[in-house]
């Protein structure tokens, strides 16, 4: 069989449901409720995102990096928000942001791949589940509310389940390096159908992998794209957005600021794009684990345990708050002498937020999303 250029590119864009392409109509949704799960791949530093500036051990442990909180919004007597999260600070003031600190999944071994698998799969051990917590959530929703899509190269584990979902990004083609991407871009340059599809897909992948690029404008563009896929009456109602670049082993000060600036602009553009629909939207931002309390020798932090999760949206149960059973940062209080000790499960935070958002029974939500809990 001879493949045409059109068959090659259309098979190369991962579209598990045809609704992943712009202009394709989803089934009409019967509720205005929307859910967005933003995963921070790489282990985001919760102590840098929501800094415990009121903890007497914080400044000594973080040394020069502690100064990065200067100019950040004071959330309460203990916590200060990173100054790059300016729009998010506004959401907090408006009771549309909640930060859950010192949280973690049940994973403790500090491997990105295993940690992300547990975060997405919701199991009690890595690779213990072949479906994800979002995929299982879809089974609790009426059929008209199950339209789901991921801005990702393939369907992430979190969205996998019995309900079909779509993706919007190019597939992970073997040996699809920068040179191949450039040559394919040139090949499709004069094709009126394939050029805009390919160009859009490549740009989407670039935005998700570097949300802090272009002074945060990549994040803003990603937020606009997400809103455009969710706002229409026949648009997606559940979405997962993959973001990378959170593994800050070195030079964390500037890198974390850039990442958070991109995330802030992503959320701001999503809010603006959704307009009044933002009041019925829940955004969950979470990472696989946190980072060490102490700064390492290269101005970064290493793989840790507990971190911070964000809940954003217009209808939160407890907006304008930081919830934490704070363990302290002193040497004796740390997990294994090095990490922020987890005092609450991330699974319970997510399940409670989802149950409130959809007005579902909390116990049923917990047992469906996290059967092993």
Instruction: Give the E-state strand segments of 64-191 in sequence order.
Output: 80-81, 97-104, 148-151, 166-167
Q: What is the pLDDT of residue 99?
A: 98
192 domain residue, yes or no: yes
Q: What is the pLDDT of residue 23?
A: 32
CATH code of residue 205? 3.40.720
Q: Give the tens place of pLDDT for each residue, 239-251.
A: 999 999 999 999 9
Q: What is the pLDDT of residue 194?
A: 59
Tokens at 296, concatenated? 């390492």
214 domain residue, yes or no: yes
Query: How does the average pLDDT of the chain come out, rounded?
Result: 86
Alpha carbon distance 244, 230 (integer Å): 22
57 domain residue, yes or no: yes
Number of separate domains in the chain: 1
Q: Give the tens place of pLDDT for each residue, 99-142.
A: 999 999 999 999 999 999 999 999 999 999 999 999 999 999 98
Q: What is the pLDDT of residue 367?
A: 98
Lowest pLDDT segment from 61-65, 110-114, 167-171, 286-290 = 167-171
Q: How confident is the model at residue 189 (pLDDT cuts 50, 70, 90)?
A: confident
Average pLDDT of span 3-23: 31
174 domain residue, yes or no: yes
Average pLDDT of span 149-156: 89
The domain containing residue 73 runs over which residues?
Answer: 5-16+29-369
21 domain residue, yes or no: no
Q: Measured at the alpha carbon of residue 38, what is the angle toward residues 121 and 28, in degrees to the nearest 5? A: 90
72 domain residue, yes or no: yes
22 domain residue, yes or no: no
118 domain residue, yes or no: yes
Average pLDDT of span 325-340: 98
């Amino acid at each position: 069989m001879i493949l045409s250029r059109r068959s090659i590119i259309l098979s190369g864009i991962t579209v598990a449901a045809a609704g992943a392409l712009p202009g394709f109509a989803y089934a009409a949704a019967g509720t205005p409720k929307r859910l967005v799960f933003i995963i921070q791949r790489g282990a985001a530093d919760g102590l840098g995102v929501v800094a415990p500036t009121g903890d007497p051990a914080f400044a000594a442990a973080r040394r020069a990096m502690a100064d990065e909180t200067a100019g950040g919004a004071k959330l309460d007597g203990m916590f200060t928000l990173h100054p790059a999260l300016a729009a998010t600070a506004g959401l907090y003031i408006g009771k549309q942001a909640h930060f859950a600190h010192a949280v973690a999944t049940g994973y403790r071994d500090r491997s990105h791949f295993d940690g992300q698998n547990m975060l997405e799969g919701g199991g009690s051990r890595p690779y213990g589940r072949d479906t994800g917590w979002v995929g299982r959530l879809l089974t609790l929703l009426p059929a008209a509310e199950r339209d789901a899509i991921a801005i990702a190269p393939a369907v992430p584990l979190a969205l996998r389940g019995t309900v079909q979902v779509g993706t919007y990004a190019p597939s992970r083609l073997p040996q699809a390096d920068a040179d191949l991407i450039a040559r394919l871009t040139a090949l499709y340059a004069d094709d009126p159908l394939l050029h805009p599809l390919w160009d859009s897909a490549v740009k989407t992948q670039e935005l998700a992998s570097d949300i802090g690029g272009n002074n945060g404008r990549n994040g803003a563009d990603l937020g606009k794209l997400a809103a455009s896929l969710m706002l229409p009456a026949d648009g997606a109602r559940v979405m997962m957005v993959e973001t990378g670049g959170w593994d800050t082993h070195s030079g964390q000060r500037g890198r974390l600021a850039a990442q958070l600036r991109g995330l802030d602009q992503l959320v701001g553009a999503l809010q603006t794009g959704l307009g009044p629909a933002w009041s019925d939207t829940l955004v969950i931002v979470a990472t696989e684990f946190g980072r060490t309390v102490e700064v390492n020798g290269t101005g970064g932090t290493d793989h840790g345990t507990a971190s911070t999760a964000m809940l954003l949206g217009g209808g939160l149960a407890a907006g304008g708050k930081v919830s934490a059973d704070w363990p302290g940062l002193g040497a004796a209080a740390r997990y294994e002498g090095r990490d922020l000790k987890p005092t609450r499960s991330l699974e319970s935070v997510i399940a409670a937020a989802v149950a409130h958002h959809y007005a579902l029974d909390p116990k049923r939500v917990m047992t469906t999303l996290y059967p092993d809990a």
